[in-house]
Structure 1
Amino acid sequence: MTSSPRQEPAALLPEDPLAALDRRQRIAACILVMPGIGADGLPDAATAAAVRAGVGALHSIVGMPASAAARYHAEVRRIAAEAGVPAPLIAGNLEAGIGYSLGRTGTDLPYPRGVGVAADPELAYRTALLAGREARAVGFEWTLSPTIDVLTTDQDPILGVRAFGVDAATTAELGAAQVRGFRDGGVVSTAKHFPGHGDSAVDSHLGLPVIDRDLETHEQVHLRPFVAAIAAGVQTIMVAHVVLPALGVDEPASLSATVNRVWLREQLGFEGVIITDSLRMAAVSARWSSAESTVLALASGADVANVKCEASELPQLIEAVAAAVDDGRVDPAELDRSVLRLFRLRAEIASFGAQLPAPDELDTALRWDDPDRAATVDVAGPLSALDGLTVVGDSEFAGRLTAAAAARGLDVGHVAEPATAATLERLADAAAGTLLPVIVPSIALSDEDRAQIAEVVAASVSPQVAAVVVNGVMAAASLAADDAAVIVAPAVDAFGICTEATVDAVLDRLLSAGGGTSR
């Protein structure tokens, strides 16, 4: 695994970085907001005002091609330079490449679970390297990934394919490889969600997870990947909205001085930037306003309050923090230390060297042609050779499989209705060629989901069914039956975003069984 030479970021810092910033600008520097897009495709008035005020970070714009995103980000930096303030860090989720934020643009990459199925650190590094290069090419500097939570429950309702889904040691190895890959690709990375979200059965977007975790499990399982990420040089860590009462954390970890100052700073020796998970999530927003949670986050030792609100709300957030500084709830010296950490982060980004594509080369959806692509889906049982293909399923995943098969020259049809045993029986009687049922169950598998999958697998003990394709993180062997093949494909996340990389990996495995053509 290669790594580019590291320059000394301190050499790129101004002699006194804080001297040019007044108190309001120092506060703004510790806040992340959502950018808005004007009719001209550039920052709207509220975003431009936030940039001029010195906002520290912008989360990703959405729904535009790569070249338009590059133009937008260049304008953000021009506005900041004109105002004489540090440009906001451009952050985004690269869960499966730049298309995860922008839409169908750039290379769709496998979700972390696909990397976990392959269990190959070199593959983990390559995916992060490519994601980083494409992100930096369009102006992103900061990816809020990798997700290094260790999944220990099958009732997880949110992480799903966004986690590697393997044991702590392998998660640590794959996460560290991605930290290095993102860095060599030109962006800083974020290990999340400290101190581990993989044993929660509650989605913190919807409620506050209270986790019963003992100290040994905490240290040996959930902290292990973060220790490895820090050793690999991760620059930022995102803290989750989880409560761990047995470990003395009775408020959300994201707002806990114990978690930020003791666990991260003192015990793990982390010197980089601490960012909260999104404060608009119900785990926090159901109890506190944006202004209140911003104050609590900065008071507890976070460097960046990930408010993720509209840019127009920045002035009221600044006022709330300024009042908290005045009444002693927020230490101005700690605030200054956070601003300095962010200056160092900018300096490190400026030191990165990476070979980047031109933004307009990324405007269309690109195919991920990695030689190990097929290894990112899990297969159990004998795959049938293809004699024509009829995809059965009413999900976007099923539709994308159909389109990708047609693009490879297969004789393919699509029955856009739920894949059930009755549907398969009807289609088999109609001699519809080789059938490919596709099931996208809920992230946390319900008893109904399991029963449906088992029923479809039982009905697939026939050469006329190529395999049963199931989206998820479970082991394929746990679903397969005698003479019925299952492909578990981590293609769709909890937000419904489907990656083409996994669509192609499924077809790779089917075609490797013989039959059909590919071009």
Structure 2
Amino acid sequence: MPELLEAETSGPSLRRRIAGCILVMPGVGPDGLPDADTRAAVRAGVGALHSVVDMPASDAARYHAAIRAEAEGAGIPSPLITGNLESGIGYSLGRTGTDLPYPRGIALADDPGLAYRTALLAAREARAVGYDWTFSPTVDVRTTDDDPILGVRAFGLGAEPTADLGAAQVRGFRDGGMIACAKHFPGHGDSAVDSHLGLPVIDRDRASLEDVHLPPFAAAIAAGVQTIMVGHVVLPALGIEEPASLSTVVNREWLRNRLGFTGVIISDSLRMAAISARWTPAEAAVLALAAGADVANSKCEAGRLPELVDAVVEAVADGRVSEVELARSAERMASLRDDLAHDRAHPGGAPLPTPGSLDGPMTWHDPARPRTVDVAGRIERAGELLLIGDSPLAARLAAAAGARGVVVRHDEREASAERVAEFASTSGARMLVPVLVPGTSVSAAERGRISAVIAAAAAAPSAATVIVNGMMAASGLAAPGAAVIVAPAVDAFGICSEAAVEAALDHLTAAAGALR
């Protein structure tokens, strides 16, 4: 054992090895480049930096280049640049690059080829901007309509199709030169609590775990996923009384031993209330690494890295964290970088886009696009669209319709049954298009409101199509005289993907004759 310890802990200093197992948030200085705290974290050997936000692609590329230059100047590996790229680089950076469909839209198309293409495109644009690692695909199997957080970010299908689509996205990300991450092990889809706000306690039995929630992760591993994110869920019926992300059983027994995963394990964000309500960032980092995470996803400010490292050094000294296991985590991170370099070394393929070409929002063009929304009922032909709604989705639909040359009017008040009835008698040749954005977990009151709006639209003498954001089946909403488009456009954080906007308009403008 002493020989093993000496062999496995040689190399970088303990502090640098620990820093290499931590993810922090970068800071931006007045010049748009890394601030002093971020540069210090890079020189300390921090393992990963999460995405900058609200920044055009070319500015993000400049920022990431400065990070790499800082690491090169220090003679150490550059931190991996991570991001939530679930609908493309715009998910993190704002309206820049190509907005791609959320997983729910891909599931509606029921096409692993589409899942692959979207991941490949997202990876190419992300790589052009300087990202290394995307925290996607989401392979949670959503089993409850009370889900408050996954929503359109989940495929919304059973275990087998989720596994197929998730595996296709893993291959697409890797072929595009990005590290993929399947999340949120061992499955977040039963939860009626948002772990950003509280700790979900899930009543799940062994059969459900084995038959429903683990297969998509096993498929992702078989497809070559390099990293897996462990979520903050408690599973008391299975003996998991602490958050899964801090459980040795979940990390080492279930994920390592049962599923045979040899890649990098990263915790879900430790700043979420499920964790931060009980532990400080330093305590949470210690607990995550002690439980078997290779990367503690701390997501605290870069300037707090030293206190996190200090806490882990103390935990190593008193035996709570194994120095041998830290050395193994460092080896996994080194292998991850080697895999990334290998994936990016393949010759051939089209050149990457330039960052400047991605600065503005770009329209996603794919033959499958119309199939990424759910449509029920016959959409009638009309000469003009009258959009009703006070949401950003309604505004985006109006702007995109206008950009297509469609005659469109937008009433920016709430889409209520009374307002629809008010316009119904005077709409003439216009198609009434109420736009509704209920919460991710649709309340009984919201369901009643949706039904009332659809009934009012159905009673209108003119054509009407109701657009509803979310996961509900369009066939269960449509009524004679009113078509329904369920568009998975807006997630629980209010981020709207233009891909679903354009897909909805593919149906509306075809019916409207695409007037130009």
Output aligned runs, 1:161-180, within 5 Å: 161-180=152-171
Instruction: Name the stretch that deviates more: 182-191 or 474-483.
Output: 474-483
Alpha-carbon distance in 1 for matches of 2:163, 2:416 = 38
Matched, 1:69 2:46: no
Matched, 1:337 2:335: no
Letter in 1 for 2:449: Q
1:487 paired residue number: 485
- Per the alignment, in what secondary structure is the counterpart of residue 424 of structure 1? helix
Q: Which of these residues, 143, 153, 159, is aligned with residue 144 of structure 2?
A: 153
1:142 paired residue number: 133
Alpha-carbon distance in 2 for matches of 1:342, 1:170 = 30
Output aligned runs, 1:38-77, within 5 Å: 38-77=29-68
2:469 paired residue number: 471
Normalised by the length of structure 2, the TM-score is: 0.96
Question: Does the CA contact (< 8 Å) of 1:155 and 1:444 recur in 2?
Answer: yes
For each residue in 1:129-182, what CA deviation from the matched residue of structure 2 results, as whole angstroms up to 9, or x when unmatched?
000000000100000000010111000000000001111111000000000000
- Per the alignment, in what secondary structure is the counterpart of residue 457 of structure 2? coil
2:499 paired residue number: 501
1:367 paired residue number: 363
Letter in 1 for 2:236: P
1:238 paired residue number: 229
Question: Does the CA contact (< 8 Å) of 2:401 and 2:505 recur in 1?
Answer: yes
- Per the alignment, in what secondary structure is the counterpart of residue 12 of structure 2? coil
Output aligned runs, 1:223-262, within 5 Å: 223-262=214-253
Alpha-carbon distance in 1 for matches of 2:168, 2:497 = 21
Alpha-carbon distance in 2 for matches of 1:394, 1:18 = 59
Question: Does the CA contact (< 8 Å) of 1:290 and 1:307 recur in 2?
Answer: yes
Q: RMSD between aligned alpha carbons?
A: 1.2
Q: Which of these residues, 119, 125, 133, is aligned with residue 116 of structure 2?
A: 125
For each residue in 1:200-254, what CA deviation from the matched residue of structure 2 results, as whole angstroms up to 9, or x when unmatched?
0000000000000011111110111001000000000000000001111110000
Q: Which runs of 5+ in 1 are unaligned?
A: 1-15
Runs of 4 or more consecutive aligned structure 1 residues displaced over 4 Å after TM superposition: 16-20
Cα 1:17/1:89, change in 2 over 3 Å: farther
Question: Does the CA contact (< 8 Å) of 2:463 and 2:481 recur in 1?
Answer: no
Alpha-carbon distance in 1 for matches of 2:382, 2:13 = 67
Letter in 1 for 2:92: S
Normalised by the length of structure 1, the TM-score is: 0.95
Letter in 1 for 2:454: V
Q: Which of these residues, 393, 397, 409, is aligned with residue 405 of structure 2?
A: 409
Question: Does the CA contact (< 8 Å) of 1:95 and 1:162 recur in 2?
Answer: yes
Alpha-carbon distance in 1 for matches of 2:174, 2:352 = 13
Cα 1:484/1:48, change in 2 over 3 Å: same
Q: Which of these residues, 183, 193, 199, is aligned with residue 184 of structure 2?
A: 193
Output aligned runs, 1:202-241, within 5 Å: 202-241=193-232
- Per the alignment, in what secondary structure is the counterpart of residue 352 of structure 1? helix
- Per the alignment, in what secondary structure is the counterpart of residue 23 of structure 2? strand
1:99 paired residue number: 90
Instruction: Work out the number of aligned pairs and report it.
Output: 503
**Cα distance, 1:481 vs. partner?**
1.6
Output aligned runs, 1:227-376, within 5 Å: 227-353=218-344, 355-376=351-372
Question: Does the CA contact (< 8 Å) of 1:106 and 1:363 recur in 2?
Answer: yes
**Cα distance, 1:20 vs. partner?**
4.5
Letter in 1 for 2:502: D
Q: Which of these residues, 398, 414, 436, is aligned with residue 418 of structure 1?
A: 414
**Cα distance, 1:430 vs. partner?**
3.1
Alpha-carbon distance in 2 for matches of 1:429, 1:479 = 23
Matched, 1:390 2:381: no
**Cα distance, 1:17 vs. partner?**
10
**Cα distance, 1:428 vs. partner?**
1.8
The sequence identity of aligned pairs, in percent, is: 64
Question: Does the CA contact (< 8 Å) of 2:228 and 2:264 recur in 1?
Answer: yes
1:6 paired residue number: none
For each residue in 1:471-505, what CA deviation from the matched residue of structure 2 results, as whole angstroms up to 9, or x when unmatched?
00111111112232110000000000001111000
Letter in 2 for 1:410: V
Alpha-carbon distance in 2 for matches of 1:237, 1:87 = 21
Alpha-carbon distance in 1 for matches of 2:368, 2:461 = 27
